[in-house]
Structure 1
Amino acid sequence: MSEGLHLTFLPPYSPKLQPAERLWILVDEPIANQFFETIHHLEDVLFHRCQFLLQQLDLISGLTGFHWWLQTGA
Protein backbone atom coordinates (compact mmCIF):
# COMPACT_ATOMS: atom_id res chain seq x y z
CA MET A 1 0.00 0.00 0.00
CA SER A 2 1.27 3.47 -0.81
CA GLU A 3 2.56 5.67 1.94
CA GLY A 4 -0.04 8.06 3.30
CA LEU A 5 -3.02 5.83 2.47
CA HIS A 6 -5.24 4.45 5.19
CA LEU A 7 -7.84 1.76 4.53
CA THR A 8 -11.13 1.98 6.36
CA PHE A 9 -13.40 -1.04 6.11
CA LEU A 10 -17.14 -0.47 6.02
CA PRO A 11 -19.77 -2.71 7.57
CA PRO A 12 -21.46 -5.03 5.02
CA TYR A 13 -24.61 -2.90 5.02
CA SER A 14 -23.98 0.78 5.60
CA PRO A 15 -26.29 2.92 3.43
CA LYS A 16 -25.34 6.06 5.32
CA LEU A 17 -21.75 5.54 4.18
CA GLN A 18 -22.57 4.35 0.65
CA PRO A 19 -24.56 7.04 -1.15
CA ALA A 20 -25.40 4.77 -4.09
CA GLU A 21 -27.66 2.78 -1.75
CA ARG A 22 -29.96 5.79 -1.58
CA LEU A 23 -30.53 5.74 -5.33
CA TRP A 24 -32.31 2.39 -5.41
CA ILE A 25 -35.61 3.97 -4.39
CA LEU A 26 -35.46 6.06 -7.57
CA VAL A 27 -34.26 3.29 -9.84
CA ASP A 28 -36.75 0.66 -8.78
CA GLU A 29 -39.76 2.98 -8.65
CA PRO A 30 -41.06 2.05 -12.14
CA ILE A 31 -40.39 -1.68 -11.68
CA ALA A 32 -41.67 -2.30 -8.16
CA ASN A 33 -44.62 -4.71 -8.11
CA GLN A 34 -44.57 -5.01 -11.90
CA PHE A 35 -44.50 -8.10 -14.06
CA PHE A 36 -42.33 -8.10 -17.16
CA GLU A 37 -42.97 -10.63 -19.91
CA THR A 38 -39.32 -10.62 -20.97
CA ILE A 39 -35.97 -9.55 -19.60
CA HIS A 40 -35.74 -7.22 -22.60
CA HIS A 41 -38.83 -5.34 -21.48
CA LEU A 42 -37.34 -4.97 -18.00
CA GLU A 43 -34.07 -3.75 -19.52
CA ASP A 44 -35.96 -1.21 -21.63
CA VAL A 45 -37.85 0.18 -18.64
CA LEU A 46 -34.65 0.43 -16.59
CA PHE A 47 -32.77 2.04 -19.47
CA HIS A 48 -35.42 4.75 -19.83
CA ARG A 49 -35.51 5.28 -16.08
CA CYS A 50 -31.74 5.77 -15.99
CA GLN A 51 -31.95 8.17 -18.93
CA PHE A 52 -34.55 10.17 -17.00
CA LEU A 53 -32.47 10.18 -13.82
CA LEU A 54 -29.43 11.46 -15.71
CA GLN A 55 -31.43 14.65 -16.23
CA GLN A 56 -32.27 14.95 -12.51
CA LEU A 57 -28.86 16.01 -11.18
CA ASP A 58 -30.28 18.09 -8.32
CA LEU A 59 -32.34 15.15 -7.13
CA ILE A 60 -29.36 12.79 -7.33
CA SER A 61 -27.08 15.27 -5.57
CA GLY A 62 -29.66 15.75 -2.85
CA LEU A 63 -29.74 12.04 -2.13
CA THR A 64 -26.04 11.30 -2.45
CA GLY A 65 -24.21 14.53 -1.63
CA PHE A 66 -23.61 14.01 2.06
CA HIS A 67 -22.45 17.19 3.81
CA TRP A 68 -19.48 15.42 5.36
CA TRP A 69 -18.12 14.47 1.92
CA LEU A 70 -17.46 18.12 1.27
CA GLN A 71 -15.42 18.31 4.47
CA THR A 72 -13.03 15.48 3.57
CA GLY A 73 -9.89 15.67 1.51
CA ALA A 74 -8.67 19.01 0.23
Structure 2
Amino acid sequence: MGIQIIVKATSVSEIERALGEIASECEIFPIDAESWGVSIPGKLINVIGEDGIRASLSKLVHFDLWAGVWVNPR
Protein backbone atom coordinates (compact mmCIF):
# COMPACT_ATOMS: atom_id res chain seq x y z
CA MET A 1 0.00 0.00 0.00
CA GLY A 2 1.26 3.46 -0.86
CA ILE A 3 1.34 6.70 1.07
CA GLN A 4 -0.83 9.65 0.05
CA ILE A 5 -0.13 13.07 1.52
CA ILE A 6 -0.82 16.74 0.97
CA VAL A 7 2.27 18.96 1.08
CA LYS A 8 2.51 22.72 1.66
CA ALA A 9 5.17 24.04 -0.73
CA THR A 10 5.63 27.01 -3.05
CA SER A 11 6.79 24.86 -5.98
CA VAL A 12 7.11 21.28 -7.15
CA SER A 13 10.90 21.69 -7.12
CA GLU A 14 10.78 22.24 -3.34
CA ILE A 15 9.08 18.86 -2.99
CA GLU A 16 11.47 17.19 -5.43
CA ARG A 17 14.47 18.49 -3.45
CA ALA A 18 13.04 17.11 -0.19
CA LEU A 19 12.25 13.71 -1.71
CA GLY A 20 15.55 13.50 -3.57
CA GLU A 21 16.03 10.55 -5.93
CA ILE A 22 12.63 9.04 -5.14
CA ALA A 23 10.74 12.08 -6.47
CA SER A 24 10.75 10.71 -10.02
CA GLU A 25 8.92 7.58 -8.79
CA CYS A 26 6.20 9.59 -7.03
CA GLU A 27 3.12 11.26 -8.45
CA ILE A 28 3.17 14.97 -7.56
CA PHE A 29 0.21 17.11 -8.58
CA PRO A 30 -1.08 20.61 -7.73
CA ILE A 31 -4.12 21.08 -5.50
CA ASP A 32 -3.96 24.88 -5.16
CA ALA A 33 -1.33 27.64 -5.12
CA GLU A 34 0.62 26.23 -2.16
CA SER A 35 -0.75 22.71 -1.73
CA TRP A 36 0.40 19.63 -3.61
CA GLY A 37 -0.72 16.04 -3.58
CA VAL A 38 1.97 13.39 -3.39
CA SER A 39 1.34 9.72 -3.96
CA ILE A 40 4.20 7.39 -3.06
CA PRO A 41 3.75 3.88 -4.50
CA GLY A 42 3.92 0.81 -2.30
CA LYS A 43 6.71 -0.73 -4.39
CA LEU A 44 8.91 2.25 -3.54
CA ILE A 45 8.10 1.93 0.15
CA ASN A 46 9.01 -1.78 -0.03
CA VAL A 47 12.45 -0.90 -1.43
CA ILE A 48 13.32 2.15 0.70
CA GLY A 49 11.24 1.45 3.79
CA GLU A 50 8.58 3.59 5.39
CA ASP A 51 11.09 5.16 7.80
CA GLY A 52 13.19 6.36 4.85
CA ILE A 53 10.13 7.84 3.16
CA ARG A 54 9.01 9.54 6.37
CA ALA A 55 12.52 10.97 6.86
CA SER A 56 12.30 12.63 3.43
CA LEU A 57 8.80 13.92 4.18
CA SER A 58 9.93 15.33 7.54
CA LYS A 59 11.55 18.22 5.65
CA LEU A 60 8.11 19.47 4.55
CA VAL A 61 4.86 20.57 6.16
CA HIS A 62 2.52 17.78 5.14
CA PHE A 63 -0.88 16.31 5.93
CA ASP A 64 -0.88 12.57 6.42
CA LEU A 65 -4.21 11.39 5.03
CA TRP A 66 -4.11 8.11 6.96
CA ALA A 67 -3.30 9.72 10.31
CA GLY A 68 -5.50 12.78 9.67
CA VAL A 69 -2.94 15.25 11.03
CA TRP A 70 -0.64 18.01 9.81
CA VAL A 71 3.04 17.25 10.42
CA ASN A 72 5.53 20.13 10.72
CA PRO A 73 9.14 19.94 9.47
CA ARG A 74 11.82 18.77 11.86
TM-score (norm 1): 0.26
When Rg is computed on C-alpha atoms for both structures, the one with the higher figure is: 1
- Return the structure number with greater strand share: 2
Structure with higher helix content: 1
Give the TM-score normalised by structure 2.
0.26
